[in-house]
Amino acid sequence: MDFYKFFMNSFFLPHEAIQINTIIFPQDRSHQIMRVLRLQAGEHVYVLDNRGNRYLTELITVDPLATRGRIIQQELSSNEPVSNLHLFVAITQRDKLEWIFQKCTEIGVNQFTPVVTRRSLSQETVANARKQERWTKIVMEAAEQSQRDCIPEIHPTIPLANCLSYAGDYKLVAYENEKIVSIPDALPEASPANVAILVGPEGGFSVEEIVLLDAQGWRAVSLGRRVLRMETAAIVACTLILHHLGEMGI
């Protein structure tokens, strides 16, 4: 039974859809259940409230407009990292940024903030509502796919200067010219922590930006001997941090 449950589909639903013993799926989710996933009455799914609770639910009626389910049992969150990892990432091409949001959600990042740096491909600091909505949908679907219990938060885009005063326990910046300090060197050993990691654009950070960050407590760290693409750097940095803090479950 436990093996079967692990591979069940998960759905984040608004709190009002979760009643005492009943789940009422909104129309878009009902359509997904019936037309896309082709689930049937009697099958089990997880319903998540984005508050750390998950509900093992049996589908009672499957309808493209209003699917209903019966709550079998409520479970507390078990798949969220104890540590808080906040990824600050330079604005880049849309497909690359969305890929970073998706994959970093899967491995356990809690928060994202797009950042405009000197060498960013775009200098816009205001994301329109449509773009923000798309980003939110991407991380929600990634959280469902990876069996997470909470949807990571995507903060508004900011200029690099706004990162300087960020108050985190550990503030790291991935820097290709750092050859000595690694991520394990800069973090506590397998202990919960509030960590921020800043990943720059394709052209890297300017020397002036690194100097400013260093003056405000951001510590440059190496990701190894090879120079990585920014999207690869984001994945590698976040994986190394979560693994070092004991948050990967392996």
Q: What mean pLDDT comes out for the span 202-228?
A: 95
Average pLDDT, rounded, for the chain: 91
What is the per-residue pLDDT across 206-218, written as a single tens digit (0 to 9) for each? Answer: 999 999 999 999 9
* 123: pLDDT strictly greater than 90: no
pLDDT at site 126: 67
pLDDT at site 6: 54
User: Which residues are 18's β-sheet partners?
Assistant: 23
pLDDT at site 193: 84
- Predicted TM-score of the model (pTM): 0.90
Q: Picking from 120-124, 143-147, 163-167, which range would have the lowest pLDDT averaged per residue?
A: 120-124
Q: How confident is the model at residue 3 (pLDDT cuts 50, 70, 90)?
A: very low
* 152: pLDDT strictly greater than 70: yes
Q: How far apart are CA 250 and CA 246, in angstroms?
A: 8
pLDDT at site 86: 98
- Across 73-82, 113-122, 216-225, the highest mean pLDDT is recorded for 216-225
Q: Six-digit token pair at 4?
A: 């079967």
Domains of the chain: 2-76 (2.40.240.20), 84-244 (3.40.1280.10)
Q: For residue 126, with 0-12 CB atoms within 10 Å meaning exposed, 13-18 middle and 19 or more buried, which class applies?
A: exposed
215 contact partners, CB below 8 Å, separation of at least 6: none
> In this structure, are residues 202 and 229 in contact, taking their beta carbons and an 8 Å threshold?
yes
Q: What mean pLDDT comes out for the span 123-146?
A: 86
* 222: pLDDT strictly greater than 70: yes
* 2: pLDDT strictly greater than 90: no
> In this structure, are residues 189 and 214 in contact, taking their beta carbons and an 8 Å threshold?
no
Q: How far apart are CA 86 and CA 79, in angstroms?
A: 17
For tokens 């923000």, name the residue.
132
pLDDT at site 219: 97
pLDDT at site 127: 64
Which three-class secondary structure state does DSSP give residue 4? helix
Helix (H) or strand (E) holding 16: none
Helix (H) or strand (E) holding 111: strand 111-116
* 4: pLDDT strictly greater than 80: no
